[in-house]
A = this chain, B = another copy of it.
Amino acid sequence: MFAPKTNPGNFFEDFRLGQVIRHATPRTVTAGFNVLYTALYGARFAVQSSDPFAKAIGYRRAPIDDLLVFHVVFGKTVPDVSLNAVANLGYAGCRFLAPVYPGDTLSAASEIIGLKENANRKTGIVYVRSTGFNQDGARVIEYVRWVMVRKRDEAAPAPGDHVPRLLVALEPGMLGDACQFTEGQGRFGRRLIYGGHVISLARALSFNGLANAFHIAGINGGRHVAPLFAGNTVFAWSEVLNVAELPGRRDVGGLRLRTIATKDRPCADFPYKEGDAYDPAVILDLDYWVLLPR
């Protein structure tokens, strides 16, 4: 009575345009999640650290860290969307739509919004819009991701041929360009660190100088420029790209930031690009909007 029990995941030809996948296993996120997140990344933003501080500015209590919400929802989509991925190509229009509090339960769904077979017929690009919900069905996060997925059978016909327009409507004035995340993949002979760790570490490091940037309103896009391995040390610096008033909000304003993370190289001289090429130490180029009190 032997049977293969491991979920083989979806291959490129298994997806259909317009298909909606409800991902398995909702997750109740408790205060303990914030503790572990803090221990891992050293995050010190006051809103996520302190109940009284969060209440004073209108939250019910200290919310779950924005990027932890992203990681939990992203994780839910992996078994259905990217178990057979060759490379995670890009993100766009990530919006954090409602606070998530300890005790809330997150679930996730994804809609296939684009499919494009590659010329070699071995792989194709899957475009998905993934949404995270709380226990009341309210949307708490939404983002578009595109990912290169293997075909099970090269001879199988392509399941569709549509590349979506990725003009993502964030808040008015918060429209960002959709840059590219390229996940470091493959066999490096060293332990590869999940790209989400880099994003969370860079955000935690940005506390120095941006301590008031209490909420990530959205991620316009970004790139995992190079992979991170166990044992590397991460540094980061940030550049202010834009300052925006938010329609109808007198209490907070928006700041568009570029945060650059490096490995094994301090950032006192702001390493970024030399001409068109990234400095060899750069591992993350992230473009996002944060909210600050006015």
Contact = CB atoms under 8 A, between A and B. Distances in A.
A44 B33 CA distance: 15
A1 B34 contact: no
Number of copies: 3
Contacts of A206: 5
A240 B6 CA distance: 14
A35 B25 contact: no
Contact of A28 (B6, B30, B62): B62
B62 A49 contact: no
A10 interface: no
B5 A208 contact: yes
A25 B51 contact: no
A238 interface: yes
Contacts of A193: none
A105 B50 contact: yes
Nearest to A242: B1
A3 B7 CA distance: 49
Contacts of A2: 239, 270
A60 to B, nearest CB: 13
Contact of A52 (B3, B30, B135, B268): B135
Contacts of A240: 1
A252 interface: no
A119 interface: no
Contacts of A155: none
Nearest to A6: B208
A25 B211 contact: yes
Contact of A209 (B5, B39, B210): B5
A46 interface: yes
Interface of A: 1-7, 24-28, 30-36, 39, 44-46, 49-53, 62, 102-103, 105, 135, 206, 208-211, 237-240, 268, 270
6 contacts: A7-B208, A7-B209, A25-B211, A28-B50, A32-B36, A35-B36
